[in-house]
């Protein structure tokens, strides 16, 4: 099976697993996770198979997809996954530094970029191999702290730094293209700060992969056009699913939809 | 409490055209949504951007508007901290900063969403007034005061939703800057800060010994610190218990101990706070309070 088809297969399984977990918790942040499943899957299959590469999940509220992948990889047990957000477990809504496979405690938005720049720069200082990868939500690009990091990365010519932006056009409250028009264009902002910039369909493995053909001495950002809640029609682009978990009926409908998808 | 705040705010906004609200990508509870629809210009969502939330509030207040900043407690106070300090407190502007989900209310979201030190931080700022209502009824009174009377910066720490109105049995009205007697008893003075008043009532309702006959006070204004009422409490009780969902210096516990020393109070003081720790535990609000040993059972055991 080629990489593209294999990714589709994996992501379908991930979506189902997340939906099934939602039975245990009323606030699972499903839509934020569904938005970036293909991106996270790409990052893990392409980069986090090597020890020297590092992945910071800056949009920490979507950690559930990270836990699911880490579970597949054997770093997080089924038992822990079952105890998600329970008093005797180790997994909470946001990633916690020290949990196996988690590189940074995030959850407050706009912190991952700075941590990633620090790690990438330290790699240079200490002559270490490997990339530092950071997944940001588009909401995080509203934080000033993110742009401080973006500027610093270019100052230090961090060609070992890769940002993925999950550009679903939604923050928690509303559609950015409607409420905050000056938010766009994103790509020009990054390139004027000295970054190598790409714009792709964030649900497509091949398009993401194509960004890694050419070498370049700049930090790299891949702006991924995505759909918040992608995969379940009634969750797509509907703000309440930022937070909410489905009820029994909705769960069955959602699982059916995923099964019928080609 | 969120909804009560929203209701009062909306009512007030119809009367005062200079009243404005700035949020940072937080879905507005109940009546705030109505406010947004009725007065779209006076509702501002900065997006996920807390520094500009505080900065804009300060600028708008300088132009003569009455402003409120509103988001989750950690993001209304910690994230834009220096903006709160310089733009609002240093310039002494009558702005209300609302922190939703104070303490460890956001129990499954982990330490990034826990405001354990907010009271400590807020009380340390010159000019800042700090209010922590016990329930929706006190939230109503405190919000009205903030929107109409306050002349200085205020940090208003709220819980989330569904809190029981423990203070409805009080004979005293809520008033800014005053410790308020909610239920009178003889033996011990229980001073509770904020929504943990439910633990104070557990003590008098569930315990079997003389603790039953204790007084419960709501210590809702933490700054300024009500030394006048405290002096009376020192005089009338041989034992004082403080219960508060926060840690650090500047909390009621630490201020009260220092004041007691100064006043040569020779009674017993027991204080119950959050631990000075990041607790890596998830679950319900009660689960997190339990891991901080802030529960009825633990307290009873310790004060026996
Ligand atoms: C500094 C900070 N402010 C506010 C929040 C509360 N919050 C959690 S998710 C979210 C917005 C979600 O939108 P976005 O960041 O674009 O993520 P996505 O749409 O990918 O889920 C907000 C405001 C936070 N976690 N951190």
Asked if residue B180 and residue B152 are part of one domain, the reply reads no
Nearest to A107 among B27, B110, B281 (CB): B110
If pLDDT is split at 50, 70 and 90, which confidence band does A161 have?
very high
Residues of A in contact with B49 (CB under 8 A): 142-144
* Tally of domains within chain B: 2
Burial per residue of A98-136, b for 16 or more beta-carbon CB atoms within 10 angstroms, e otherwise: ebebbbbbbbbbbbbbbbbbebbbebeeeeeeebbbbbb
Whether A262 has a pLDDT exceeding 70, the answer reads no
Asked if residue B279 and residue B194 are part of one domain, the reply reads yes
Angstroms from B97 CA to nearest CA on chain A: 19
* Distances in whole angstroms, Cα of residue A212 to Cα of each of A132, A135, A206: 14, 16, 10
Going by C-alpha positions, the residue among B221, B254, B273 that lies closest to residue B103 is B273
Asked if residue B259 and residue B131 are part of one domain, the reply reads no
- Cα dihedral sign for B79, B85, B91, B95? positive
Asked if residue B153 and residue B15 are part of one domain, the reply reads yes
Those residues with Cβ within 8 angstroms of residue A212's Cβ, 6 or more apart along the chain or in another chain: A46
- Which residues have C-beta atoms less than 6 Å from ligand 1? A 32, 35, 59, 61, 107-110, 137-140, 166, 168, 170-172, 228, 242; B 25, 48, 75, 79
CA B109 to chain CA centroid, Å, is 20
* Tally of domains within chain A: 1
Query: Which pLDDT value is given to residue A22?
Result: 85
Angstroms from B207 CA to nearest CA on chain A: 27
Is B288 among the domain residues? yes
Going by C-alpha positions, the residue among A114, A212, A218 that lies closest to residue A157 is A218
Is B272 among the domain residues? yes
pLDDT tens-place values along chain B, 304 residues long: 999 999 999 999 999 999 999 999 988 778 999 999 999 999 999 999 999 999 999 999 999 999 999 999 999 999 999 999 999 999 999 999 999 999 999 999 999 999 999 999 999 999 999 999 999 999 999 999 999 999 999 999 999 888 999 999 999 999 999 999 999 999 999 999 999 999 999 999 999 888 999 999 999 999 999 999 999 999 999 999 999 999 999 999 999 999 999 999 999 999 999 999 999 999 999 999 999 999 999 999 998 7
DSSP state of A90: S
Q: Where are the beta strands (DSSP E) in B76-132?
A: 96-100, 129-131
Pocket test for ligand 1, best of B23, B25, B71 (most atoms within 8 A of CB): B25
pLDDT, chain A, mean: 95
Asked if residue B145 and residue B8 are part of one domain, the reply reads yes
Q: Does A100 touch chain B (CB under 8 A)?
A: no
Dist CA B14 CA B11 (whole Å): 6
Dist CA B110 CA A94 (whole Å): 7
Angstroms from A176 CA to nearest CA on chain B: 8
- Residue at which a domain ends, from B101, B124, B157: B157
Whether A27 has a pLDDT exceeding 80, the answer reads no
Identify from B110, B280, B293 which residue to disrupt to test chain A contact, counting A C-beta atoms within 10 A and taking the largest count: B110
Going across the sheet that includes B129-131, the strands are B43-45, B19-23, B66-72, B96-100, B154-157, B129-131, B221-223
- The range of the structural domain enclosing residue B204 comes to 175-303
- Residue at which a domain ends, from B129, B157, B185: B157
Query: Which pLDDT value is given to residue B109?
Result: 94
Burial per residue of A190-217, b for 16 or more beta-carbon CB atoms within 10 angstroms, e otherwise: beebebbbbbbebbbbebbbebeeeeee
Asked if residue B240 and residue B111 are part of one domain, the reply reads no
The answer to whether the beta carbons of residues B100 and B2 sit under 8 Å apart is yes
Is B163 among the domain residues? no
- Residue at which a domain ends, from B109, B128, B157: B157
For residue B233, give the CATH number of its domain: 3.40.50.920
Asked if residue B299 and residue B235 are part of one domain, the reply reads yes
| Each residue's pLDDT tens digit, A203-260 | 999 999 999 998 889 999 999 999 999 999 999 999 999 988 999 999 999 999 998 8
The answer to whether the beta carbons of residues A165 and A185 sit under 8 Å apart is no
Which residue is closest to A93 within chain B, CA to CA? B109
Is B166 among the domain residues? no
Is B164 among the domain residues? no
Is B287 among the domain residues? yes
For residue A210, give the CATH number of its domain: 3.40.50.970
Nearest to B287 among A87, A172, A179 (CB): A87
Dist CA B259 CA B226 (whole Å): 11
Whether A26 has a pLDDT exceeding 80, the answer reads no
- The range of the structural domain enclosing residue A58 comes to 3-260
Which residue is closest to A97 within chain B, CA to CA? B280
Query: Which pLDDT value is given to residue A260?
Result: 86
Going by C-alpha positions, the residue among B96, B71, B118, B1 that lies closest to residue A139 is B71
For residue B135, give the CATH number of its domain: 3.40.50.970
Nearest to B109 among A94, A173, A174 (CB): A94
In sequence order, which ranges of A73-202 are alpha helices (DSSP H)?
Answer: 78-82, 112-125, 144-155, 176-179, 186-192
């Amino acid at each position: 099976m080629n990489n593209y088809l294999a990714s589709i297969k994996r992501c379908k399984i991930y979506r189902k697993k997340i939906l099934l977990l939602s039975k245990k918790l009323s606030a699972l942040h499903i839509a934020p996770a569904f938005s970036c499943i293909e991106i996270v899957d790409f990052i893990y299959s392409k980069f986090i198979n090597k020890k020297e590469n590092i992945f910071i999940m800056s949009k920490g509220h979507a950690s559930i997809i990270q836990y699911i992948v880490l579970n597949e990889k054997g770093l997080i047990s089924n038992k822990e996954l079952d105890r998600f957000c329970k008093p005797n477990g180790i997994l909470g809504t946001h990633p916690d530094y020290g949990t196996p496979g988690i590189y940074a405690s995030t959850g407050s938005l706009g912190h991952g970029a700075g941590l990633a720049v620090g790690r990438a720069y330290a790699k240079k200082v200490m002559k270490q191999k490997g990339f530092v990868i950071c997944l940001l939500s588009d909401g995080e690009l509203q934080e000033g702290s993110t742009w401080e990091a973006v500027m610093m990365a270019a100052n230090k010519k961090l060609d070992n730094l890769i940002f993925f932006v999950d550009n679903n056009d939604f923050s928690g409250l509303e559609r950015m293209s409607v409420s905050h028009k000056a938010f766009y264009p994103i790509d020009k902002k990054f390139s004027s700060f000295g970054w190598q910039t790409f714009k792709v369909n964030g649900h497509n493995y091949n398009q993401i992969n194509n960004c890694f053909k050419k070498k370049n001495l700049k930090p790299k950002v891949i702006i991924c056009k995505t759909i918040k809640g992608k995969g379940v029609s009634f969750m797509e682009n509907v703000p309440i699913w930022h937070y909410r978990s489905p009820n029994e009926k909705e769960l069955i409908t959602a699982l059916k939809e995923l099964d019928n998808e080609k | 409490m969120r909804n009560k705040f929203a209701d009062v705010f909306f009512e007030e906004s119809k009367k005062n055209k200079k009243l404005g609200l700035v949020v940072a990508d937080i879905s507005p509870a109940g009546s705030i949504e109505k406010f947004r629809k009725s007065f779209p210009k006076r509702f501002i969502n900065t997006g996920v951007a807390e520094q500009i939330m505080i900065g804009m509030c300060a600028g708008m207040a300088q132009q003569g508007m009455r402003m409120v900043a509103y988001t989750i407690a950690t993001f209304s106070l910690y994230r834009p901290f220096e903006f709160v300090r310089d733009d609002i407190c240093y310039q002494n502007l009558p702005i209300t900063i609302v922190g939703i989900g104070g303490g460890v209310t956001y129990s499954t979201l982990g330490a990034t969403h826990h405001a354990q030190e907010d009271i400590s931080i807020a009380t340390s700022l010159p000019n800042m007034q700090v209010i922590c209502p016990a329930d929706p009824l006190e939230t109503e009174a405190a919000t009205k005061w903030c929107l109409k009377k306050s002349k200085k910066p205020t940090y208003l720490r709220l819980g989330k939703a569904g809190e029981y109105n423990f203070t409805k049995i009080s004979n005293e009205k809520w008033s800014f800057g005053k410790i308020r007697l909610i239920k009178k008893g003889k033996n011990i003075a229980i001073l509770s800060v904020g929504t943990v008043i439910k633990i104070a009532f557990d003590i008098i309702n569930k315990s079997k010994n003389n603790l039953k006959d204790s007084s419960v006070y709501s210590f809702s204004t933490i700054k300024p610190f009500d030394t006048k009422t405290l002096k009376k409490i020192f005089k009338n009780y041989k034992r004082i218990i403080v219960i508060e969902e926060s840690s650090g210096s500047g909390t009621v516990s630490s201020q009260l101990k220092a004041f007691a020393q100064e006043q040569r109070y020779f009674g017993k003081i027991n204080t119950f706070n959050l631990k000075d720790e990041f607790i890596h535990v998830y679950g319900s609000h009660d689960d997190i309070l339990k891991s901080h040993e802030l529960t009825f059972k633990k307290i009873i055991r310790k004060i026996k």
